[in-house]
Amino acid sequence: MASEDRMIVCLACNAVNRVPEGRALTAAKCGRCAGLLATPHPAEITNDQMRALEKKDTGAFIVDLWAPWCGPCRMMAPHYDAAAERLQGDVRFYKINTDQHPDAAVRLNIRGVPTLVAWKGGRELTRQSGAPAGGALERWVRGLFGLAPAPN
């Protein structure tokens, strides 16, 4: 495997796909099921899917651990959706409902929601607790992954 390749897990079939660094995820499809590898909208995932991502995926992704009763989670959701749409070529956006998947929150040592966890290269980069709003969320993601600033 060339060092410029990212290994991207397809959530539809669990296949691991090699995607060259620099190739937009929006142009990449799963080699097994032909599903899209980009997330134009945040994808709800389970604890098992999160384990697969942690174990096999070396691409850039953000996981939002949230709960339906959480006001800040609901306030951040539209900003998270907008960032997913704008950055889908470079970063994937996932959500784990901690009420439905408390085992994921325990395993990841999440103490409060919302918590955003950033991953790249098969390892956790950082976490952010609380709900960044508006452009702050997108700026945080762009800065973490070395993406160009948003055009004005």
Which residues are designated catalytic?
70, 73
**116 beta partners:** 64, 128
Give the torsion sign (CA, 117, 120, 122, 123).
negative
| Start-to-end Cα distance in the chain | 37
Q: What is the CA radius of gyration of the chain?
A: 15
